[in-house]
Amino acid sequence: MTAKILTHAVSRPPTPRVAWRRINPTIVIFLVLLAAICWISPLYRTAPGLMSLLQRASPVIILSAGQTFVLVTGGFDLSVGSLITLVVVACALITGGDGSLTWIALLAAYGIGLTVGLINGAIVAWGKVPSIITTLGMLLSVKGVAMLWSGGAPEGYLPVNLRYFGRYVWRHVPLIQRLPVAVVVLVGSLAVLVWLFHFTNFGRLLLMIGDNPRAAELSGVPVRRQRMLAFVISALAAVTAGILLGGFSGVSVDVGTGYELEATSAAVIGGVVLLGGEGSMTGAIFGGLTLYALFTLLNLIGFPEPLRVAVQGLILVAAAALTARRSGTRQ
Protein backbone atom coordinates (compact mmCIF):
# COMPACT_ATOMS: atom_id res chain seq x y z
CA MET A 1 0.00 0.00 0.00
CA THR A 2 2.72 2.43 1.01
CA ALA A 3 4.77 1.45 -1.98
CA LYS A 4 1.83 2.04 -4.25
CA ILE A 5 1.27 5.52 -2.91
CA LEU A 6 4.95 6.25 -3.23
CA THR A 7 5.19 5.25 -6.87
CA HIS A 8 2.08 7.21 -7.54
CA ALA A 9 3.61 10.27 -5.95
CA VAL A 10 6.82 9.85 -7.88
CA SER A 11 5.34 9.20 -11.27
CA ARG A 12 2.66 11.85 -11.19
CA PRO A 13 3.13 14.73 -8.79
CA PRO A 14 -0.30 15.98 -7.70
CA THR A 15 0.11 19.52 -8.90
CA PRO A 16 -2.95 21.50 -10.01
CA ARG A 17 -1.56 21.57 -13.55
CA VAL A 18 -2.40 17.90 -14.03
CA ALA A 19 -6.13 18.47 -14.31
CA TRP A 20 -6.05 20.73 -17.34
CA ARG A 21 -3.18 18.87 -18.88
CA ARG A 22 -5.43 15.87 -19.21
CA ILE A 23 -7.74 17.73 -21.57
CA ASN A 24 -6.81 16.82 -25.10
CA PRO A 25 -5.19 20.00 -26.49
CA THR A 26 -6.55 19.14 -29.92
CA ILE A 27 -10.06 20.08 -28.80
CA VAL A 28 -8.80 23.54 -27.81
CA ILE A 29 -6.91 23.94 -31.07
CA PHE A 30 -9.98 22.90 -33.05
CA LEU A 31 -12.20 25.39 -31.24
CA VAL A 32 -9.69 28.18 -31.86
CA LEU A 33 -9.53 27.31 -35.55
CA LEU A 34 -13.32 27.14 -35.73
CA ALA A 35 -13.62 30.55 -34.09
CA ALA A 36 -11.18 31.95 -36.65
CA ILE A 37 -13.16 30.41 -39.50
CA CYS A 38 -16.42 31.86 -38.19
CA TRP A 39 -14.79 35.24 -37.73
CA ILE A 40 -13.57 35.36 -41.33
CA SER A 41 -16.56 33.86 -43.10
CA PRO A 42 -20.17 34.52 -42.06
CA LEU A 43 -21.18 31.38 -43.95
CA TYR A 44 -19.81 29.19 -41.17
CA ARG A 45 -21.74 31.03 -38.48
CA THR A 46 -24.90 29.21 -39.56
CA ALA A 47 -25.89 25.63 -38.86
CA PRO A 48 -25.94 24.66 -42.57
CA GLY A 49 -22.43 26.08 -42.96
CA LEU A 50 -21.11 24.03 -40.07
CA MET A 51 -22.91 20.97 -41.41
CA SER A 52 -21.22 21.33 -44.78
CA LEU A 53 -17.85 21.66 -43.03
CA LEU A 54 -18.61 18.45 -41.17
CA GLN A 55 -19.81 16.80 -44.37
CA ARG A 56 -16.54 17.48 -46.18
CA ALA A 57 -14.45 16.52 -43.15
CA SER A 58 -16.22 13.19 -42.66
CA PRO A 59 -14.00 11.00 -44.91
CA VAL A 60 -10.82 12.13 -43.12
CA ILE A 61 -12.41 11.66 -39.69
CA ILE A 62 -13.62 8.14 -40.49
CA LEU A 63 -10.20 7.30 -41.95
CA SER A 64 -8.24 8.58 -38.98
CA ALA A 65 -10.56 6.82 -36.53
CA GLY A 66 -10.04 3.56 -38.42
CA GLN A 67 -6.31 4.14 -38.75
CA THR A 68 -6.11 4.62 -34.97
CA PHE A 69 -6.94 0.93 -34.44
CA VAL A 70 -3.73 0.05 -36.29
CA LEU A 71 -1.65 2.89 -34.85
CA VAL A 72 -2.32 1.94 -31.22
CA THR A 73 -1.02 -1.56 -31.86
CA GLY A 74 2.22 0.06 -33.02
CA GLY A 75 1.60 -0.40 -36.73
CA PHE A 76 0.84 1.76 -39.75
CA ASP A 77 -1.67 1.45 -42.53
CA LEU A 78 -0.41 3.35 -45.55
CA SER A 79 -2.52 1.37 -48.02
CA VAL A 80 -5.78 3.20 -47.28
CA GLY A 81 -5.26 5.87 -49.96
CA SER A 82 -4.88 3.28 -52.70
CA LEU A 83 -7.81 1.33 -51.28
CA ILE A 84 -10.03 4.42 -51.59
CA THR A 85 -8.98 4.75 -55.22
CA LEU A 86 -9.71 1.07 -55.87
CA VAL A 87 -13.13 1.33 -54.21
CA VAL A 88 -14.17 4.34 -56.30
CA VAL A 89 -12.85 2.77 -59.51
CA ALA A 90 -14.54 -0.56 -58.68
CA CYS A 91 -17.87 1.12 -57.97
CA ALA A 92 -17.71 2.99 -61.27
CA LEU A 93 -16.77 -0.10 -63.27
CA ILE A 94 -19.26 -2.46 -61.61
CA THR A 95 -22.25 -0.15 -61.91
CA GLY A 96 -21.30 1.49 -65.19
CA GLY A 97 -23.65 4.28 -64.16
CA ASP A 98 -26.55 1.86 -63.62
CA GLY A 99 -28.23 2.65 -60.31
CA SER A 100 -29.78 -0.82 -59.95
CA LEU A 101 -26.29 -2.30 -59.46
CA THR A 102 -25.40 0.02 -56.58
CA TRP A 103 -26.00 -2.58 -53.86
CA ILE A 104 -23.79 -5.10 -55.62
CA ALA A 105 -21.10 -2.44 -55.98
CA LEU A 106 -21.29 -1.57 -52.27
CA LEU A 107 -21.04 -5.24 -51.34
CA ALA A 108 -18.09 -5.69 -53.67
CA ALA A 109 -16.41 -2.58 -52.20
CA TYR A 110 -16.66 -3.92 -48.65
CA GLY A 111 -15.51 -7.31 -49.93
CA ILE A 112 -12.42 -5.69 -51.45
CA GLY A 113 -11.77 -3.83 -48.19
CA LEU A 114 -12.11 -7.00 -46.16
CA THR A 115 -9.67 -8.79 -48.48
CA VAL A 116 -7.07 -6.01 -48.38
CA GLY A 117 -7.36 -5.74 -44.60
CA LEU A 118 -7.02 -9.50 -44.15
CA ILE A 119 -3.97 -9.61 -46.44
CA ASN A 120 -2.31 -6.66 -44.66
CA GLY A 121 -3.03 -8.17 -41.27
CA ALA A 122 -1.97 -11.70 -42.17
CA ILE A 123 1.34 -10.52 -43.64
CA VAL A 124 2.13 -8.40 -40.58
CA ALA A 125 0.90 -10.87 -37.95
CA TRP A 126 2.09 -14.15 -39.43
CA GLY A 127 4.69 -13.07 -42.01
CA LYS A 128 6.16 -10.66 -39.44
CA VAL A 129 6.90 -8.09 -42.13
CA PRO A 130 6.89 -4.63 -40.51
CA SER A 131 3.62 -2.92 -41.35
CA ILE A 132 5.35 0.07 -42.91
CA ILE A 133 6.83 -2.21 -45.59
CA THR A 134 3.69 -4.34 -45.89
CA THR A 135 1.29 -1.49 -46.36
CA LEU A 136 3.63 0.51 -48.62
CA GLY A 137 3.90 -2.63 -50.77
CA MET A 138 0.11 -2.98 -50.70
CA LEU A 139 -0.19 0.72 -51.62
CA LEU A 140 1.66 -0.11 -54.85
CA SER A 141 -0.20 -3.35 -55.50
CA VAL A 142 -3.71 -2.08 -54.75
CA LYS A 143 -3.14 1.00 -56.92
CA GLY A 144 -1.80 -1.35 -59.58
CA VAL A 145 -5.01 -3.38 -59.43
CA ALA A 146 -7.08 -0.19 -59.83
CA MET A 147 -4.95 0.84 -62.82
CA LEU A 148 -5.01 -2.60 -64.42
CA TRP A 149 -8.77 -2.97 -63.97
CA SER A 150 -9.54 0.44 -65.42
CA GLY A 151 -6.79 0.42 -68.04
CA GLY A 152 -5.14 3.43 -66.39
CA ALA A 153 -7.89 5.89 -67.22
CA PRO A 154 -11.19 4.94 -65.60
CA GLU A 155 -14.27 6.01 -67.48
CA GLY A 156 -17.86 6.10 -66.46
CA TYR A 157 -19.39 7.68 -63.44
CA LEU A 158 -21.07 6.71 -60.23
CA PRO A 159 -24.86 6.35 -60.33
CA VAL A 160 -26.87 8.96 -58.47
CA ASN A 161 -27.96 6.63 -55.70
CA LEU A 162 -24.33 5.71 -54.96
CA ARG A 163 -23.30 9.34 -54.81
CA TYR A 164 -26.22 9.89 -52.45
CA PHE A 165 -24.10 8.98 -49.40
CA GLY A 166 -21.47 11.62 -49.98
CA ARG A 167 -23.54 14.26 -51.62
CA TYR A 168 -27.14 14.36 -50.64
CA VAL A 169 -28.44 16.81 -48.05
CA TRP A 170 -31.78 16.41 -46.30
CA ARG A 171 -33.51 19.76 -46.08
CA HIS A 172 -36.04 21.16 -43.62
CA VAL A 173 -34.63 19.18 -40.72
CA PRO A 174 -35.74 20.76 -37.47
CA LEU A 175 -33.12 22.73 -35.53
CA ILE A 176 -30.25 22.38 -38.02
CA GLN A 177 -32.26 22.92 -41.24
CA ARG A 178 -29.97 20.81 -43.39
CA LEU A 179 -28.57 17.38 -42.61
CA PRO A 180 -26.06 15.87 -45.05
CA VAL A 181 -26.27 12.08 -45.41
CA ALA A 182 -22.48 11.99 -45.03
CA VAL A 183 -22.81 13.33 -41.48
CA VAL A 184 -25.26 10.55 -40.63
CA VAL A 185 -22.82 8.00 -42.08
CA LEU A 186 -20.05 9.68 -40.06
CA VAL A 187 -21.99 9.49 -36.80
CA GLY A 188 -22.99 5.88 -37.46
CA SER A 189 -19.45 4.77 -38.31
CA LEU A 190 -18.00 6.60 -35.32
CA ALA A 191 -20.57 5.03 -33.00
CA VAL A 192 -19.39 1.58 -34.10
CA LEU A 193 -15.70 2.50 -33.94
CA VAL A 194 -15.93 4.22 -30.54
CA TRP A 195 -17.86 1.24 -29.16
CA LEU A 196 -15.26 -1.21 -30.49
CA PHE A 197 -12.35 0.86 -29.25
CA HIS A 198 -13.48 1.98 -25.82
CA PHE A 199 -16.23 -0.41 -24.75
CA THR A 200 -15.07 -3.85 -25.81
CA ASN A 201 -12.23 -6.05 -24.66
CA PHE A 202 -11.10 -6.12 -28.26
CA GLY A 203 -10.25 -2.41 -28.10
CA ARG A 204 -8.59 -2.56 -24.70
CA LEU A 205 -6.45 -5.49 -25.79
CA LEU A 206 -5.28 -3.52 -28.84
CA LEU A 207 -3.85 -0.86 -26.52
CA MET A 208 -2.24 -3.57 -24.44
CA ILE A 209 -0.62 -5.11 -27.52
CA GLY A 210 0.70 -1.71 -28.57
CA ASP A 211 2.17 -1.17 -25.13
CA ASN A 212 3.88 -4.53 -24.83
CA PRO A 213 3.10 -7.32 -27.29
CA ARG A 214 5.12 -9.90 -25.38
CA ALA A 215 3.33 -9.22 -22.11
CA ALA A 216 0.00 -9.31 -23.93
CA GLU A 217 0.84 -12.67 -25.46
CA LEU A 218 1.98 -14.13 -22.15
CA SER A 219 -1.30 -13.12 -20.57
CA GLY A 220 -3.17 -15.02 -23.23
CA VAL A 221 -4.12 -12.30 -25.70
CA PRO A 222 -4.47 -13.67 -29.25
CA VAL A 223 -2.01 -11.05 -30.49
CA ARG A 224 -2.00 -12.13 -34.13
CA ARG A 225 -5.76 -12.27 -34.52
CA GLN A 226 -6.14 -8.89 -32.82
CA ARG A 227 -3.53 -7.31 -35.06
CA MET A 228 -5.16 -8.70 -38.17
CA LEU A 229 -8.60 -7.45 -37.13
CA ALA A 230 -7.13 -3.97 -36.54
CA PHE A 231 -6.04 -3.88 -40.19
CA VAL A 232 -9.46 -5.13 -41.28
CA ILE A 233 -11.18 -2.32 -39.37
CA SER A 234 -8.84 0.25 -40.88
CA ALA A 235 -9.55 -1.10 -44.37
CA LEU A 236 -13.34 -1.15 -43.85
CA ALA A 237 -13.18 2.46 -42.58
CA ALA A 238 -11.25 3.31 -45.75
CA VAL A 239 -14.00 1.73 -47.89
CA THR A 240 -16.62 3.86 -46.10
CA ALA A 241 -14.50 6.97 -46.63
CA GLY A 242 -14.06 5.97 -50.27
CA ILE A 243 -17.81 5.70 -50.83
CA LEU A 244 -18.30 9.18 -49.33
CA LEU A 245 -15.44 10.60 -51.41
CA GLY A 246 -16.89 9.00 -54.55
CA GLY A 247 -19.95 11.15 -53.91
CA PHE A 248 -17.92 14.38 -53.69
CA SER A 249 -15.54 13.93 -56.56
CA GLY A 250 -15.34 12.30 -59.93
CA VAL A 251 -13.87 8.96 -60.84
CA SER A 252 -10.11 9.04 -61.32
CA VAL A 253 -7.03 7.09 -60.30
CA ASP A 254 -5.99 9.90 -57.96
CA VAL A 255 -9.10 10.04 -55.77
CA GLY A 256 -7.40 8.52 -52.75
CA THR A 257 -3.84 9.75 -53.25
CA GLY A 258 -2.43 11.29 -50.09
CA TYR A 259 -5.28 10.26 -47.80
CA GLU A 260 -3.10 7.75 -45.95
CA LEU A 261 -0.90 10.58 -44.74
CA GLU A 262 -3.84 12.84 -43.95
CA ALA A 263 -5.32 10.09 -41.79
CA THR A 264 -2.03 9.46 -40.01
CA SER A 265 -1.44 13.20 -39.56
CA ALA A 266 -4.94 13.62 -38.13
CA ALA A 267 -4.40 10.81 -35.63
CA VAL A 268 -0.98 12.16 -34.61
CA ILE A 269 -2.44 15.65 -34.18
CA GLY A 270 -5.05 14.06 -31.97
CA GLY A 271 -2.34 12.65 -29.74
CA VAL A 272 -2.38 9.03 -30.84
CA VAL A 273 1.10 7.83 -29.99
CA LEU A 274 2.91 6.16 -32.85
CA LEU A 275 4.58 2.87 -32.02
CA GLY A 276 1.50 2.08 -30.03
CA GLY A 277 0.01 1.85 -26.59
CA GLU A 278 -1.74 5.17 -26.31
CA GLY A 279 -4.59 6.88 -28.07
CA SER A 280 -8.28 7.59 -28.00
CA MET A 281 -11.11 7.96 -30.45
CA THR A 282 -11.72 11.51 -29.20
CA GLY A 283 -8.17 12.34 -30.19
CA ALA A 284 -8.51 10.78 -33.65
CA ILE A 285 -11.86 12.47 -34.30
CA PHE A 286 -10.73 15.92 -33.18
CA GLY A 287 -7.43 15.39 -35.02
CA GLY A 288 -9.41 14.89 -38.24
CA LEU A 289 -11.62 17.89 -37.50
CA THR A 290 -8.60 20.06 -36.68
CA LEU A 291 -6.80 19.11 -39.89
CA TYR A 292 -9.88 19.84 -41.97
CA ALA A 293 -10.64 23.10 -40.15
CA LEU A 294 -7.06 24.17 -40.77
CA PHE A 295 -7.35 23.44 -44.49
CA THR A 296 -10.62 25.38 -44.59
CA LEU A 297 -9.03 28.32 -42.80
CA LEU A 298 -6.03 28.33 -45.15
CA ASN A 299 -8.44 28.30 -48.06
CA LEU A 300 -10.39 31.23 -46.64
CA ILE A 301 -7.33 33.41 -46.18
CA GLY A 302 -6.23 32.65 -49.74
CA PHE A 303 -3.23 30.52 -48.88
CA PRO A 304 -1.75 28.98 -52.03
CA GLU A 305 -3.28 25.56 -52.55
CA PRO A 306 -0.06 23.58 -53.18
CA LEU A 307 1.53 24.88 -49.97
CA ARG A 308 -1.26 23.21 -47.98
CA VAL A 309 0.76 20.00 -48.13
CA ALA A 310 3.79 21.80 -46.70
CA VAL A 311 1.71 23.12 -43.79
CA GLN A 312 0.37 19.62 -43.20
CA GLY A 313 3.95 18.35 -43.00
CA LEU A 314 4.99 21.02 -40.50
CA ILE A 315 1.95 20.36 -38.33
CA LEU A 316 2.58 16.63 -38.44
CA VAL A 317 6.12 17.11 -37.12
CA ALA A 318 5.06 19.74 -34.58
CA ALA A 319 2.21 17.60 -33.24
CA ALA A 320 4.47 14.57 -32.91
CA ALA A 321 7.12 16.65 -31.12
CA LEU A 322 4.50 18.10 -28.77
CA THR A 323 3.12 14.65 -27.93
CA ALA A 324 6.67 13.43 -27.31
CA ARG A 325 7.16 16.25 -24.81
CA ARG A 326 3.81 15.72 -23.13
CA SER A 327 4.19 12.00 -22.65
CA GLY A 328 7.92 12.12 -22.06
CA THR A 329 8.44 9.15 -24.33
CA ARG A 330 9.72 8.78 -27.82
CA GLN A 331 6.84 9.52 -30.13
Partner 1 sequence: MSGITLSTRRFRPQGLLPAALIVGAALTYAVVSLATAQSAQLSWAGIAGLLQRMVALGITACGQTLVLLVGSIDLSVANLISVSAVIAAHVMNGRPDAIALGIAAAIAIGVIVGLANGLIVSKLKVSPLIATLGIGLVLQGVLSAAYDDLPGSVPASFRVLAYGHVLGIPLALLLLAAVVALAGFVLSRTVIGFRLYGVGGDARTARLAGIRTDRFVIGAHIAASVTAAVSGLYLASWLGAGTPWVGRDGGYDLDSVAVVVIGGTLLSGGRGGVAGTIAGVFVFATIDAVFNMLQIDPFLGQILRGLIVISSVAAYTFRGKAHVA
Contact residues toward partner 1 (CB under 8 A) are 73-76, 123-124, 126-134, 136-145, 147-148, 152, 209-210, 213-214, 217, 223, 227, 261, 264, 268, 274-276, 304, 306-314, 316-317, 320-321, 324-325, 329-331
Dihedrals phi, psi of 172, to nearest 5 degrees:
55, 35
Compare residues 55 and 226 and give the one whose CB is closer to partner 1: 226
* Smallest separation (angstroms) from partner 1 to the CB of 318: 8
How far is 185 from 20, CA to CA, in rounded Å?
A: 32
Strand partners, 59: none
* Smallest separation (angstroms) from partner 1 to the CB of 175: 39
Strand partners, 25: none
* Smallest separation (angstroms) from partner 1 to the CB of 239: 19
Compare residues 80 and 179 and give the one whose CB is closer to partner 1: 80
Compare residues 77 and 95 and give the one whose CB is closer to partner 1: 77
* Smallest separation (angstroms) from partner 1 to the CB of 160: 30
Compare residues 296 and 312 and give the one whose CB is closer to partner 1: 312
Strand partners, 169: 180
* Smallest separation (angstroms) from partner 1 to the CB of 201: 19
Compare residues 237 and 269 and give the one whose CB is closer to partner 1: 269
How far is 319 from 30, CA to CA, in rounded Å?
A: 13
* Smallest separation (angstroms) from partner 1 to the CB of 249: 19
Pair 61, 285: CB distance under 8 Å: yes
DSSP string, 238-287: HHHHHHHHHHHS---TTTTTTHHHHHHHHHHHTTPPTTSS---HHHHHHH
Compare residues 49 and 130 and give the one whose CB is closer to partner 1: 130
Strand partners, 111: none
Pair 26, 269: CB distance under 8 Å: yes
